[in-house]
Amino acid sequence: MRTCDASIRSWWAWAVRQMSLGQTTVRAVTSSAERRIAVWIHASRPPALEAACQFIAALPKGFEVLVVPDAREQIQQQVPSARLVDITYQALPLAEVIVVFGGDGTILRAAERALESDIPVLGVNLGHVGFLAELEMSQMPELVDHVVLGDFVLEHRMTIEMELIPPGADTPSWRSVAINEVSLEKAARTKMIDCLVSIDGLPVSRWACDGLLVSTPTGSTAYAFSAGGPVMWPQLEAYVVVPLSAHALFARSMVLAPQSRVHLDLLSGVDGVVVCDGARVADVPAGSRIEIRRYSHDLMVARLSEQPFTSRLVKKFALPIEGWRGKG
């Protein structure tokens, strides 16, 4: 997956376009002496800084490393020989992969930038659950070897986009992309919102509730899981609508086809807020509509091997797979 000269970049762009959704092993070799990778960390967290420095120091000569501007000076002090440049919107698409040291929140922020640049993201877990992470800090030598060889397995993850259309307007006032979920929530703690949910232009249910989530398979193990939504395997092409504390007999999660479109109409005089991936927020006046659909770009998650999601699920949630039923 080395993309250092024009011919390799051209091959890589073609290969990405040709890949089907799911897991695809990518191995590419180039004779160019200059290669670029990106390293993303939460600059104010010492363990992340230490891990990033350890990784960069282990890279052989010939690598240019893109880093977050807040951490560049600190990394340069600890790894004086490293060739560092700031991560920018112009430079990031030239990188082979973005390696992230942190928890799922940090990986998610980096993944948003990787999505815009059409490059894979590879996470090293420094948090607690770490569903988006591929490996732990103890596997650092293995990580360096795979980055140097450009040897990854890519998981393609479906993403969604949303538009906020204010009352009486025909055009959106705010847009955003989400990797995990779009969340419509009540703005006032003491009141519920009144929301009509429509699928493909047809009304499905009207809920008085605390809010609604529209989640991707990637986000199904995050906010949606905590709200009682189903666990969805990440390669699944579908997304789910999850009501939050709805006052209704029918208040079940609904799993939708990837081509479906979701409309959330905020009906009553109670205002709301919309939150994308827990980071980007916009006010939603009563009478507004939120339109949600599949985004045209998939997130590419780089993994070092074809580890089944089932194994990660059991490990991250410490699910009991042995017991008295299995004895004998």
Q: Compute the distance between CA of residue 130 and CA of residue 124 in angstroms, rounded to an integer.
A: 8
Averaged confidence pLDDT in the chain: 85
Interval 62-70 mean pLDDT: 92
Interval 140-158 mean pLDDT: 88
Please say if the pLDDT value at position 171 is more than 90: yes
- The CATH-assigned architecture of domain 160-294 is Sandwich (2.60)
Q: Which residues, including other chains, have CB under 8 Å from residue 66's CB and lie 6 or more apart?
A: 36, 37, 38, 39, 84, 85, 86, 87, 91, 92, 95, 98
Per-residue confidence (pLDDT) for residue 28, from 0 to 100: 44
Q: Where are the domains of the chain?
A: 6-158+299-317, 160-294
pLDDT in tens, 248-299: 888 899 999 999 999 999 998 899 999 999 999 999 999 999 999 999 999 9
Per-residue confidence (pLDDT) for residue 142, from 0 to 100: 84
- Could you give the residue numbers annotated as active site? 104
pLDDT in tens, 289-327: 999 999 999 999 998 876 778 877 887 788 888 775 555
Please say if the pLDDT value at position 202 is more than 90: yes
- Contact (Cβ atoms closer than 8 angstroms) between residue 273 and residue 244: no
Per-residue confidence (pLDDT) for residue 130, from 0 to 100: 67
CATH number for the region 6-158+299-317 comes to: 3.40.50.10330
- Contact (Cβ atoms closer than 8 angstroms) between residue 23 and residue 235: yes
Q: Compute the distance between CA of residue 39 and CA of residue 247 in angstroms, rounded to an integer.
A: 46
Please say if the pLDDT value at position 132 is more than 70: yes
pTM: 0.82
Please report, for residues 44, 89, 254, 312, the alpha-carbon distance to residue 147 in angstroms, rounded to integers and kept in the order given: 25, 22, 39, 22
Per-residue confidence (pLDDT) for residue 135, from 0 to 100: 76
